[in-house]
Amino acid sequence: MTRNTSDHGTDDPVVGLLRRAGCVFAEEEAAVLREHAAGAAELDELCARRAAGEPLEHLVGWVRFGDLRLCVGPGVFVPRQRSLLLARIAVAAVRARRSPLVLEAFCGVAPIAATVAAAGLDARLHVIDIDPTALACARQNLPRGSGVHLGDGLSPLPPGLRGHVDVIAAVPPYVPDASVGFLPHEACDHEPRNALVGGPDGLDHILELIRAARDWLCVGGILLVEMNSEQFEVVTDRVEHIGHDDLDAIPGADGQTVVARYRRRPIASTAN
């Protein structure tokens, strides 16, 4: 790649190329690509693919999530920085319990379970996803001995866990079907559609998860679900009386994301 000062205010050709392609954090991305490339030819190829829209994380095979560097492969959902909120809340919920059983549902590469593991808490971890490619990354991000389950919703969990899970945390797909076109091209073109959208109002998986969690949580167990702030009230209206107390919705700094917290009620006071 030749060096010349561009109208994008840099004499670094990689930064210039990435800026022209619309990368907001061009300097940081250039540094990551340089670190990853084995030589000039590979750097050129990676820059061209990045400029054409491939997610940086797919190109280099990892994503920074808080203090962690997580494995993430091509074709897999890349954990978003907004989900650090859920990770922090999950760690706090797990810390409050002794040797808890923790499940990340809709786990993708398992950023929440990996954060809990890295916190050094004495937790037994399980994760579920429908995408075997994502689970291959999750295995690399989790301690050996974690339960990694392939399948739909919560259905692949071992029956012996029924009623014993202390904390369930999830980022289900929650974009309304019709809004998928408004997502960045990186997401639409390079992440699986079923990792993004959740039905006409985006709530299909969230509502099903809230219903199904009742059977797996222990009494007093906590369910944490990331969603859009506008979705929280709709969800609250539709899941009343299904065996959880609504605790609260903890807002993210972006003004859009919330983490909804529910607590499993005792059987005797469970309606529906």
Ligand X SMILES: C[S@@+](CC[C@H](N)C(=O)[O-])C[C@H]1O[C@@H](n2cnc3c(N)ncnc32)[C@H](O)[C@@H]1O
The rounded distance, in Å, linking the Cα atoms of 118 and 113 is 9
Residues in binding contact with ligand X, number by CB under 6 A: 20
Told to check if 57 binds ligand X by CB under 6 A, we report no
| Local structure of 167: helix, strand or coil | strand
Amino acid at 169: A
Pairing between strand 257-264 and 217-228? antiparallel
Told to check if 79 binds ligand X by CB under 6 A, we report yes
Told to check if 46 binds ligand X by CB under 6 A, we report no
Cβ-based nearer residue to ligand X, 37 or 171: 171
**Residue in the shown chain whose Cβ atom is closest to ligand X:** 108
Contact, 176 vs 198, CB < 8 A? Answer: yes
Told to check if 152 binds ligand X by CB under 6 A, we report yes
Q: How far is CA 97 from the centre of its chain?
A: 23
The footprint of ligand X on residues 160-199 (CB under 6 A) is 171-173, 194-195
The rounded distance, in Å, linking the Cα atoms of 22 and 149 is 38
Told to check if 70 binds ligand X by CB under 6 A, we report no
Residue 220 phi, psi dihedral angles, 5° rounding: 85, -5
For residue 176, the minimal CB distance to ligand X (Å) is 13
Among positions 61, 73, 153, 199, the unique one binding ligand X when judged by CB under 6 A: 153
Judged by the rule CB under 6 A, the positions of this chain that interact with ligand X are: 77, 79, 83, 106-109, 111, 128-131, 134, 152-153, 171-173, 194-195
